[in-house]
Structure 1
Amino acid sequence: MTRLPASKPAVASIWGFFALSFAFSWLVWGAILALPLPDDLLLPCIILGAFGPSFAAIYLVQRYGQAAEKRDFWSRVFSFSRIGWAWYLVIMLIFPAIYFLGYYIYSFFGGTQPPVASLFSGLDSPSSILIFALIILFAGPVSEELGWRGYVLDPLQEKYGAIAGSLILGLFWIAWHLPLFFIEGTSQHAKGFGFQFWSWSFQLIMLSFVFTWVYNHTHRSILGAILLHLMANIAYPTNLDLTGEVVFTLLRLIIVLGIVVAWKREKPISLTLVSN
């Protein structure tokens, strides 16, 4: 049965959180667009801007949270015991499974899967491996998930339910990324606003539903969300043509529908505080 969020913390502020997250990220990314930054500062500034959601969550929890809320928040960040072994397998395997299944279906339409080794091209030294690991961990998983899932998902679910709450969060997640589409060198800029933009947008909607599903079954684990985000980034299909984007979009739609049907069939349970 789905583990619904704890009773809404006094600190929770949906719109205040979104305002702070967008303000920080868009100011940093806006500065990149407005100022002539040297090339070696571009990536650090992009990553700094990505910390808007997590910085907003930390500020709101530490500034307005009660002692129990602060303990709960940081326990959900660092506790490995919240996540059962079965859900560790889900976290580690669901996006690679989507990746390989999508390319398998795509192969019937003439598509080819990039060699798995290409995902790690250029990692030919310990220092390059370390830098890559730090970037892929902090540029997205850590910089975002303390906010998206760790802070705002609970009140969204309590106010709107799991389905509408996941959809609302997904739409804000898309909008939050928009400045990156104007910054040269980002993966978003490479996509542009053609069919890849719409496929990527639906990817975020699908991710929002999957993250809520996993989050609600792992005792509201922020660590679980960080690991899930990490796997989603590693196993994201790239350089697809229109046919490939359609294949993956339809596959993602099936996953979202499956989660929604599962939620609809579950009996509602009371919103009681989940013990640490």
Structure 2
Amino acid sequence: MTFPQRRPLVTFFLLAFGLTWLFWLPYVLSANGLGVLPWRFPAVLGSSQTLGVLPGAYLGPITSALLVTALTEGRSGLRRWARRLVRWRVGLRWYAGVLLVVPAAAVASTFLLPGAVDAAAWPALSVLAGYLPLLVLQVLTTGLAEEPGWRDFAQPRIQARFGPLPGSLLLGPLWGAWHLPLFFSEWAGWPDVDWSMPAEFVLGSTLLSIVLTWVFNRSESLPLVMLVHANVNTVFSLLWPEVFPRLDLFRDSLHAMVLSAGLAALVLIVATRGRLGLARADVIEPRMTPAMNG
């Protein structure tokens, strides 16, 4: 038995981190980041991240999940994995909830920050008109690049061993830490970055991971999870700066993410008693196959 067959989770995380960080290195070292290399990534579709960040993201979680699934489960496993990628048929209330609750929670939580009420403004109609197109783009980029790996491959295996809440508390920091090299680039406003920002980002990722675990377990729809993730990104990259133009884009948006994800996670933990949408029997006696072992 090969190492990926014995340790599929370890293999997945090694590949996800290794492939992504390797392909992000030129961006971090370029003039868009630390300035060690003499070139700058050009803006494509309005951002240098299109060429600097997105290729590494696609070569991380989704590619690693595909490779490990192929090595451990063969063609039948790949077919099952591919079918889950397009399991979009859930009730319309799910989609309506995601589209409405995510921006409402982000904006409402921001009002808890000092000075946020006085800093608030109505967004321009052009921002509202561009929201859905950007959301679709985020689904096809960030959502597609990440969630087939984090939520569809890693989460079921982790929660089968540890349970949904402990599993989320394990997966969340790993998911957040995967982004850490980007804090040395324009992605996080480098050089105006201090140690508290990546620490708060990892905390926010952990709290949001709890919410995404519930969405995935309850809906059994990976596209819906991708939509939640994409909507969070769309809110904080497009809508939030327009509603709170006088707040700090990087630091205050991190505070708002932690507050909104934390309140949602707390409600879900209490409401589900930590099961996060997973049936009690599956938490106590998880049915594991050899390929699910870490």
Do both proteins adopt the same fold according to a TM-score greater than 0.5, normalized to the shorter chain?
yes
Alignment of 1:1-276 (within 5 A): 13-34=8-29, 35-40=37-42, 42-43=48-49, 44-51=51-58, 52-81=60-89, 83-106=90-113, 110-117=117-124, 120=127, 136-183=138-185, 185-187=186-188, 189=190, 192-219=193-220, 221-236=221-236, 237=240, 240-241=247-248, 246=255, 249-264=258-273, 268-270=280-282, 271=286
TM-score, structure 2 normalization: 0.73
- Give structure 1 stretches of 5+ with no counterpart: 1-9, 124-128
CA contact (8 A) 1:11 1:65 kept: no
CA contact (8 A) 1:215 1:222 kept: yes
Instruction: Summarize the Cα distance change of 1:243–1:31 in structure 2 as closer, same or farther, 3 Å threshold.
Output: closer
Secondary structure in 2 matching 1:24: helix
Deviation at 1:109, TM superposition (A): 5.8
Looking at structure 1, the residues matched to 55 and 253 of structure 2 have their Cα atoms a distance apart, in angstroms, of 32
Q: Label 1:189 to 1:121 Cα distance change in 2 as closer, same or farther (>3 A).
A: farther
Task: Indicate the percent of aligned positions where both proteins have the same amino acid.
Answer: 24
The Cα of 1:213 is off from its aligned counterpart by 0.4
Corresponding residue SS for 2:280: coil
How well do the aligned residues superpose, as a CA RMSD in angstroms? 3.3
Q: 1:122-143 deviations in whole A, cap 9, x for unaligned?
A: 96xxxxx97x567533442111
Calculate the TM-score normalised by the size of structure 1.
0.77
| Structure 1 residues 196 and 90: CA distance shift in structure 2, 3 A | same
Higher mean displacement: 42-51 or 98-107 = 98-107
> In structure 2, what residue type is equivalent to 1:60?
V
Is the 2:135–2:234 Cα contact (8 Å) retained in structure 1? no
In the alignment, what sits opposite 1:5? none
Q: 1:245 to 1:48 in 2, by over 3 A?
A: closer
Measured in 2, the distance between the counterparts of 1:137 and 1:97 equals 19
Distance (whole Å) between structure 1 residues aligned to residue 199 and residue 141 of structure 2: 22
Q: How far did residue 111 of structure 1 move? A: 4.3
CA offsets 1:46-70 (integer angstroms, 9 cap, x no match):
1111121111111222333244432
Q: Aligned pair in 2 of structure 1 residues 213, 37: CA closer, same or farther (>3 Å)?
A: same
Provide the rounded CA distance (Å) in 2 between the counterparts of 1:133 and 1:258.
Answer: 26
Q: How many residues were matched structurally?
A: 255
Higher relative contact order (CA 8 A, sep 6+): 1
Q: What's the counterpart of residue 7 of structure 1?
A: none
Relative to structure 1, is the Cα distance of residues 135 and 272 closer, same or farther in structure 2, using a 3 angstrom cutoff? same
Runs of 4+ in 1 over 6 A off after TM superposition: none
Q: Distance in 2 between matches of 1:223 and 1:133?
A: 13
Cα distance in 2 for partners of 1:119, 1:50 equals 29
